[in-house]
Chain A
Amino acid sequence: MKNKRVFDTKVQYLKYKVLREVAREAWDDTLLEDLLDIPKKIVSGKTPTMRCCVYKERAIIAERVKIAMGGDKENPNVIEVIDIACDECPAAGYEVTDSCRGCLAHRCEDVCPRGAISFDHNHVAHIDKSKCVECGRCSKVCPYSAITNRVRPCQNACKIKAISINEDGGAAIDNEKCISCGACVYQCPFGAITDKSFILDVIDMIKKNSRDKKSKLYAVVAPSISSQFTYAKLGQVVSGLKTLGFHAVVEAALGADMVAYSESKELVEKGFLTSSCCPAFVSYVKSAFPELTEHISHNPSPMAAIAKYIKDIEPSAKVVFIGPCTAKKAEAQLKEVKAYVDSVLTFEELQALFDSRDLDITQLEEEALDNASYFGRIFARSGGLSDAVAEAIKEQGIEDFDLKPCSCDGIEECRTALMKKKRGVLNENFIEGMACNGGCIGGAGCLTHGEKNKAQVDAYGREALEKTITDAISVLKM
């Protein structure tokens, strides 16, 4: 089946199969009857392909079905651990492997700042765990690469250290720290951490509107869509959304144009600002640097801005945001956003939705998608927001403000910049915070994370009819 190649990993493909099945049953109104049969449908036969036996495989699929249906209602986090799917990966930290040849140089010993390395009678190195501080220098200097760092992929992915190991040896997420960026979701090789899906809410909205025609459904698509669904044309994705039952498709990038325009004004007025587009970054500032909260831009995110605009025009409308982001699912639940955004889907979930209707979008006519400017569209990649703010300052003829942006690509760079600001040593006056590496195109809900994604976003930006932010938002100022 061609969909296997639509995704980066087999974990995504498995997640997709569950979502597709759940969605199919939901369209047919048979979900409740057939709920218990889904695991057997996905894991058929007697030969296990993923775990020790088919029974465990099915038990895990049953958990995935629950998450596809909205997950644990008691847990406020949109990111959840499937306990039985966690393989409890070894996490021993720095270890000397068999490759140690017992050499004479002992670079590892010399470089260790804590004297944690000793040698046995075969001259083989050993690390004293009570002294080791995991600095990794020994690993770097060993000419045989004999020292490895055994870290759990989830903990390694979570750069803000929100994942720990619980008493049963499984992964545990600290909800106070977690920013729902989804890095662990994408990185866990067993697919044991996953984002809750609201695909059923979307199906409900579509069905309801097709019956009573009371509330038209708007799909607000993130600009990173230009690097996704590459097996089809973007215009066919737009067509596909309409075929599914969406009334219209609107670019979140137009919201980005609106945000760039007003955020630049706010920046000039206040003199220093951190961006508010990336919900994971905003949540990180609030939880890890509460003293910097006052500097977060008061502008809504592009998603919230465009959704508000749609609902101002048409209060009965329903808005579904479709993007690469798991943190948007959390943002949509915030009290200040809730009223505007009714649900959030990832690109993974949209693929499942298309296929649950056996909709081959490559066979559809292309439809137009053009609301935003080049600058709104390049928000999808790191550095785009800063470029847009610079452009908005220029377009408004503000000359006495010297923009010095600090584009943070990934949460680690965000931390460095925020740390500097906290200590009063940051030279820049605008922090563009993007939690995912590469910006939104690195989001956990993307189908693929390729080298070409940034170029595709830029190309999509250049195709925009409107070349300036002012032109793009002029249609909204009536």
Chain B
Amino acid sequence: MIIQICVGSSCHLKGSENMIELLKQAIATHDLENEITLAGSFCAGRCNRVGVTVTVDDEVYTGVTPEGFSEFFQKAVMSRIGK
């Protein structure tokens, strides 16, 4: 699975860096290092008013915030992997 975090200007200002940290932590907690590749992207073309755009394989999730992170991770990542 490839997870791309948008590091374009708009998302960058809304906390891409923090999102990368959260993803790294979550991946470590669930022992998914071998299954997930993290990558950056410059603008998925879906700039949102809040949060960061994260693309999981081909699915684009906009407005991901630290508050909504665990819900996002469960829905977008864990359930896809089948865990």
What is the number of residues of chain A that contact chain B, defined by CB distance less than 8 Å? Answer: 21
A310 partner residues in chain B, CB cutoff 8 A: 42
Count of chain B residues near A, Cβ 8 A: 18
Interface residues of A in 208-260 (CB under 8 A from B): 218, 238, 247-251
- Minimum distance in angstroms from A308 CB to a CB of chain B: 13
Picked from B8, B13, B40, B42, the residue with its CB within 8 Å of the CB of A478 is: B40
B42 neighbours in A (Cβ, 8 Å): 218, 248, 250, 310, 313-314
Residues of B within 8 A of A476 (CB): 7, 40
A249-B9, A368-B10 known; A478+B20 contact, CB < 8 A: yes
A367 touches B10 (CB 8 A): yes
Is B71 interfacial (CB 8 A cutoff)? no
Q: Does chain B have a CB within 8 A of A54?
A: no
Q: Closest approach, in angstroms, between the C-beta of A383 and any C-beta of chain B?
A: 26
Q: Given the complex of chains A and B, what is the CA–CA distance between A471 and B7 in angstroms?
A: 12
| Contact assessment for A248 and B40 in the assembled complex, using a CB-CB cutoff below 8 Å | no
Q: Flag whether A386 is at the interface (Cβ < 8 A).
A: no
The answer to whether A475 and B41 touch across the interface, beta carbons within 8 angstroms, is no
A57 to B4, CA, bound (A): 55
- Per-residue CB proximity of A275-301 to B under 8 Å, as 1/0? 000000000000000000000000000
**In this assembly, does A371 line the interface, its C-beta being within 8 Å of a C-beta of chain B?**
yes
Identify the closest chain B residue to A250 (Cβ): B42
Residue of A nearest to B37 (CB): A478
Contact of B38 with A475 in the complex, beta carbons under 8 Å: no
Establish whether residues A478 and B43, one from each chain, have CB atoms under 8 Å apart when the complex forms: no
- Chain B minimum-CB-distance residue to A478: B38
A475 touches B17 (CB 8 A): yes
B residues engaging A (CB < 8 A)? 4-5, 7-10, 12-13, 16-17, 20, 38-43, 45
Minimum-distance CB pairs A-B, first 10: A248-B43, A368-B9, A478-B38, A475-B7, A370-B9, A368-B10, A369-B9, A248-B42, A370-B13, A250-B42
